[in-house]
């Protein structure tokens, strides 16, 4: 059974959280509520999330401050953040959102279809990355165990499957990068896509090193960062 991805919804207004849940329920993922920046940071201590939808205007710790804390933590710094705001203060306000680490900045009222599509992309990439990490860990255990015969064939088959799954993620990441280029996206969004591509390149190099004649068990798959 495939585990569902978790999406963190952060807003101090219950009606806004309810609206987000209604929009994103069609994705069939786990939606986690947080009514403040502090509550969001607490949830991020124990759970992994595919994407964070973060309201900018909140009492106490606002969205910008919450995002700054998220980006300072090694565990959470790479989680995509989509800022949501009911007030458009112009380009300077939007730039502050991207400077805080957001991959997107959406003004309310927003198009539900557009928001769902944006979130879906990050959920899909997160799920594929989880599958790659699980299979990489299994492959590493098999290789470190020095299995032979049937075990070697099983490792070879797993390596081929892992390579195929990585190719699918690489293709989707490339399509996302082209989409950002076509839409003349802000620098922060492009930088996030570039970061993803760098991580995929590292995985690809590690898999290539595991191929027969390229180092065998001496190769070690990189940890997810």
Q: How confident is the model at residue 10 (pLDDT cuts 50, 70, 90)?
A: very high
Number of folded domains that form the chain: 2
Residue among 137, 133, 122 nearest 195 (CA): 122
Residues 90, 15 share a domain: yes
Residues 110, 13 share a domain: yes
Residues 124, 53 share a domain: no
> Is residue 2's pLDDT more than 80?
no
Residue 181 lies in a domain: yes
Residues 25, 42 share a domain: yes
- For the segment 147-174, the average pLDDT, to the nearest whole number, is 67
Of 54-63, 101-110, 130-139, the range with the highest mean pLDDT is: 54-63
* SS3 per residue for the chain: CCCCCEEEEECCCHHHHHHHHHHHHHHCCEEEEECCHHHHHHHHHHCCCCEEEEECCCCCCCHHHHHHHHHHCCCCCCCCEEEEECCCCCHHHHHHHHHCCCCEEEECCCCHHHHHHHHHHHHHHHHHHHHHHHHHHHHHHHHHCCCCCHHHHHHHHHHHHHHHHHHHHHHHHHHHHHHHHHCCCCHHHHHHHHHHHHHHHHHHHHHHHHCCCCCHHHCCCCCCC
Residue 224 lies in a domain: no
Residues 130, 102 share a domain: no
> Is residue 13's pLDDT more than 80?
yes
Of 40-44, 111-115, 152-156, 213-217, the range with the highest mean pLDDT is: 40-44
Residue 220 lies in a domain: no
> For the segment 38-58, what is each residue's pLDDT rounded down to a tens digit?
999 999 999 999 999 999 889
> For the segment 140-157, what is each residue's pLDDT rounded down to a tens digit?
776 666 555 555 566 666
Residues 60, 19 share a domain: yes
> Is residue 161's pLDDT more than 80?
no
Residue 159 lies in a domain: yes
Residue 222 lies in a domain: no
Q: Are 53 and 67 in contact (CB under 8 A)?
A: no
Of 58, 84, 115, the one marking the end of a domain is 115
pLDDT > 90 in the chain, percent: 31
Residues 95, 148 share a domain: no
Of 67, 89, 115, the one marking the end of a domain is 115
More confident residue, 67 or 161: 67
Whichever domain contains 33, its CATH number is 3.40.50.2300
Residue 221 lies in a domain: no
Per-residue model confidence (pLDDT) at position 212: 55
Residue 61 lies in a domain: yes
Judge residue 5's burial from the number of C-beta atoms within 10 Å of its C-beta, 0-12 exposed, 13-18 middle, 19 or more buried. buried
Per-residue model confidence (pLDDT) at position 173: 72
Strand partners, 54: 10, 83
Residues 79, 22 share a domain: yes
Q: How confident is the model at residue 129 (pLDDT cuts 50, 70, 90)?
A: confident
pTM summary value = 0.66
- For the segment 102-129, the average pLDDT, to the nearest whole number, is 86
Residues 47, 75 share a domain: yes
- For the segment 153-177, the average pLDDT, to the nearest whole number, is 71
Residues 43, 133 share a domain: no
Domain containing residue 125: 120-215
| Chain CA centroid to CA 57, Å | 24
Of 115, 135, 150, the one marking the end of a domain is 115
Residues 111, 10 share a domain: yes
Residues 106, 26 share a domain: yes
């Amino acid at each position: 059974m495939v585990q569902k991805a978790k999406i963190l919804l952060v807003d101090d207004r219950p009606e806004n959280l309810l609206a987000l849940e209604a929009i994103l329920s069609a994705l069939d993922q786990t939606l986690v509520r947080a009514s403040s920046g502090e509550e969001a940071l607490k949830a991020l201590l124990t759970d992994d999330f595919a994407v964070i939808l973060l309201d900018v205007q909140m009492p106490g710790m606002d969205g910008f401050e919450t995002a700054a804390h998220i980006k300072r933590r090694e565990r959470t710094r790479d989680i995509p953040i989509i800022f949501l705001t009911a007030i458009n203060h112009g380009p300077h306000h939007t730039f502050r959102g991207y400077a805080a680490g957001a991959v997107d900045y959406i003004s309310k009222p927003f198009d539900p279809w557009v928001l769902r599509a944006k979130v879906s992309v990050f959920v899909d990439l997160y799920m594929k990355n989880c599958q790659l990490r699980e299979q990489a860990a299994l492959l590493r255990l098999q290789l470190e165990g020095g299995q032979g015969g049937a075990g070697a064939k099983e490792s070879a088959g797993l390596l081929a499957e892992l390579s195929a799954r990585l190719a699918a993620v690489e293709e989707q990441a490339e399509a996302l990068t082209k989409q950002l280029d076509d839409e003349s996206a802000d620098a922060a969004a492009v930088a996030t896509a570039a970061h993803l591509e760098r991580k995929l390149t590292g995985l690809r190099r590690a898999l290539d090193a595991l191929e027969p004649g390229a180092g065998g068990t001496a190769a070690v798959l990189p940890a997810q960062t």
